[in-house]
Amino acid sequence: MVAGVAIRGSRSLLRQIREAMASQQPAQAKLDMVVRIIAASMVAEVCSIYLRRASGDMELFATEGLDAKAVHVTRMKPGEGLVGEIMRLGRPLNLSDAPAHPAFAYRPETGEDPYHAFLGVPLLRGGRAIGVLVVQNRTERAYEDEEVEDLQIIAMVLSELVGAGGLIGAGELKDIEIAPHRPERLKGARFADGLAYGVAVLHEAPVAPDEMFSDDALAEDARLKTAIAALQAQIDGMLDGGQGLVGAPYEVLETYRLFAHDRGWNRGLEEAVRSGLTAEAAVERVRSEHRARLGQARDPYLRERLHDLEDLNDRLLRHLSGDGAVARVLPENAILIARNLGPADLLEYDRTKLRGLLLEEGSPASHAAIVARALDIPCVGRLSGLRDRVNEGDSVVVDGESAEAYLRPRADVVTAIASRMEVRAQRKAEFARLRDTPAFTRDGAKITLLMNAGLAVDLEMLREAGAEGIGLFRTEFQFMVAEQMPRLEAQTELYGRVLDAAGAMPVTFRTLDLGGDKLLPYMEAEREENPALGWRAVRMGLDRPALLRLQIRALLWAAKGRALRIMFPLVSSVDEFRAARALVDQEVSWAQRRGRVAPSRLDVGAMVEAPALLWHLDALLPMTDFVSVGTNDLMQYLFAADRGNPRVADRYDPLSPPALRALKQIQQACADTGTPVSVCGEMAGRPLEAFTLVALGFEALSMPPAGVGPVKQMVLSCDREAARRGVEALLKGAAGSVRGEIETLARKLYVAA
């Protein structure tokens, strides 16, 4: 068999398929002609096409060599037979004796008894296997690598033609599962509350090939090599400190460089071009192969490599189109679709047009999720298979309340969502009316509601949200979105703007919480076995005192005679806080010696996030001016469950006796020593959890801007003493989560939680 001659030489096979596609014959006649052409060109005695129905069954749609009566009769259940095995694996199956394979399923109506040699390849479209192309011969032999390569090229062309409606009219496809087009509902995890309805925009969406075939292989090869060289130069420039990805970790860029220079990747692209495909079509073919092969991998490292390859393919396509930059133009009411995002990625989009965010991966603690909450952008994550289920331009609903996504929703779903969005708008208007109303409980307890921030855009929302100050300003975002370490002047300027925006309202600056999952492209970091328990936050600052002192100096300079509050994150021992506070004292002395204006008042506090401090508060609190409870980290350490790991992040509930007793212990210790205490974790921004915190005695809560209105409404409807008695009773003898019981208590007390 000399299959390579037909494709790599005259490319007569591709030309014949094109002619069959252009004919005016009925769909079945086109398919019949295609299998005859392929069988003749591949010197195969059998050629068959199977397509997947919406039910998942694989149906024989056309054949040359098998009994024609089996067409539209023979069906394979999902995973059944050799065809099902190819669908499951997403890669070719090459057998010298097909009947001997354990997955072989005999179908007497096909008359395939005499055939032993079997080669089947998946029809891949958008990473989804939509069918299988099979050739068979009587002789027991394994097909050569060139033959497998040829059939893969044919399969890719066929899948694109079928999916684009060029081979079979859309009306003739019936329920064939070619590409996502039916309404779908996906269940995920809530990353940011809210509702949105709009148009799907794929993050860094690839440029779709305009042409699949080329009549000048040499010219396409030259285009491809030029684009690859430009891509390699771009990535090399990133690693050498030139223009590049904002906030991308160095090791990821190094991985890109390895892939970009990989001979196997380059060779696969070049061979596809020499076979008659355009450079763009060659990239899409390689992309589909990677998705099919790595998309099913259980190893998280391999799945992460797929993400790297996706980005690499997208960048190469942009170079081929003549635009090496990422297009960020959005339609109105855009819903951004991505596998995952960094905070810088999200910030580069036009927030005036961005209505929602859907992620295939990620976690509520990811920085993209934090930024989404800060910008009040509804976000749902952990939506399995999202990217392969949605097309650019699809209508999409983001339901951040129920943690669901609706793709191509039915009219009744859109109507229901619109109604709920209107109710939310009315509630938002009610919250706006409460903006200047002090947050007192019904029995007269004052609850201070503060706002979490970390972005310049947050400052615009301070008064709009009705917050009484900033209880947590995350200073690391300035470092994460910069291409190099922010200088003293840049840090001072930002902190000064924050204090200017707050006016007389208090601002608590958290020093750099870097390390763990927050890596900087310009700072070397070793891989850690368990980064959440590793070199991060105040530990990094104490080991790099110059870095921490520079930030403290910027904060002191920015105060200019105003009150200043500095807070250290993830303090796990009294010695750590003592050492950190000593650095503050050194900087204060340094500034005084140089005649700098001192802050009118300087308060230094610690975040209580490490459970070890629960049994050392008696020594810590007298050394602090205030403390703040970071419930996000405290809970993950208390329950030994990584909040960024979807397998265990939901294994505990903060509304359970261990968590609530720990919180009560902190509150009581602070009350006994007169130490001001606040809660600045995610719990503070959710009305039911905030109700519980108020019942435990906390009087200062810091939350995302969107949480201030709902929590204030809850406070105004709450009798704190009645809530205290109710929650205290629930904690006696409770075995598991008391969330349901607290919800019932809130209803009985007519609390808006």
What is the tens place of the pLDDT at every residue in 477-494? 777 655 567 889 888 988
Angle at 144 between CA 49 and CA 101, to 5 degrees: 60
Active site includes 319?
no
Q: Does the pLDDT value for residue 168 go beyond 60?
A: no
Q: Does the pLDDT value for residue 294 go beyond 60?
A: no
Q: Does the pLDDT value for residue 344 go beyond 60?
A: no
Q: Does the pLDDT value for residue 1 go beyond 50?
A: no
Torsion of CA 697, 702, 704, 708, to 10 degrees: 60
Grouping H, G, I as helix, E, B as strand and the rest as coil, residue 251 is helix
pLDDT of residue 671: 96
**pLDDT tens sequence across 547-587:** 899 999 999 999 999 999 999 999 999 999 999 999 999 99
Q: For the domain made up of 217-320, give the CATH fold.
A: Enzyme I; Chain A, domain 2 (1.10.274)
pLDDT band at 31 (very low <50, low <70, confident <90, very high): confident
Grouping H, G, I as helix, E, B as strand and the rest as coil, residue 1 is coil
Q: Would you state the CATH architecture of domain 469-623?
A: Alpha-Beta Barrel (3.20)
- Say which of 47, 670, 680, 718 is annotated catalytic: 680
Between 312 and 69, the more confident residue is 69
In this structure, what are the phi and psi dihedrals at residue 721, rounded to the nearest 5 degrees? -65, -40
pLDDT band at 183 (very low <50, low <70, confident <90, very high): confident
pLDDT band at 519 (very low <50, low <70, confident <90, very high): low
Between 460 and 95, the more confident residue is 95
- Which of 593, 510, 582, 602 has its CA nearest to residue 551? 510
**Domain boundaries along the sequence of the chain:** 3-172, 184-204+328-424, 217-320, 469-623
Amino acid in position 712:
K
pLDDT of residue 705: 84
**pLDDT tens sequence across 194-216:** 999 999 988 765 555 556 777 78
pLDDT of residue 242: 37
Domain 184-204+328-424 part of CATH 3.40.50.11890: no
CA distances from 752 to 334, 443, 644, 745 (A): 32, 16, 30, 11
Cβ-based neighbours of 128, under 8 Å, separated by 6 or more: 177, 179, 388
Sheet with 184-187, side-by-side order of all strands = 184-187, 404-407, 395-399, 195-202, 334-338, 354-359, 379-381, 189-192
Strands 395-399 and 195-202 come out as antiparallel
Q: For the domain made up of 3-172, give the CATH fold.
A: Beta-Lactamase (3.30.450)
**Strand ranges in 593-653 using DSSP code E only, listed in sequence order:** 601-608, 626-629
Q: Does the pLDDT value for residue 527 go beyond 70?
A: no
- Say which of 203, 290, 319, 367 is annotated catalytic: 367
CA 359 to chain centre: 4
pLDDT band at 307 (very low <50, low <70, confident <90, very high): low
Between 467 and 161, the more confident residue is 467
Strands 507-510 and 470-474 come out as parallel
pLDDT of residue 24: 72
**pLDDT tens sequence across 240-283:** 543 333 333 344 445 556 666 766 677 778 887 887 888 888 88
Active site includes 116?
no
Q: How far apart are the first and last CA of the chain?
A: 73
Q: Do domains 184-204+328-424 and 217-320 have the same CATH topology?
A: no
User: In whole numbers, what is the pLDDT of the chain averaged over residues?
Assistant: 81
Q: State the sign of the Cα–Cα–Cα–Cα dihedral 89, 95, 98, 102.
A: negative
Q: Does the pLDDT value for residue 299 go beyond 50?
A: no
Q: Does the pLDDT value for residue 171 go beyond 80?
A: no
- Which of 280, 272, 339, 281 has its CA nearest to residue 306? 339
Sheet with 128-137, side-by-side order of all strands = 75-76, 58-64, 46-52, 128-137, 117-125, 93-95
Between 571 and 530, the more confident residue is 571
- Helix (H) or strand (E) segment spanning residue 669: helix 657-673
Cβ-based neighbours of 162, under 8 Å, separated by 6 or more: 51, 123, 125, 130, 131, 168, 178
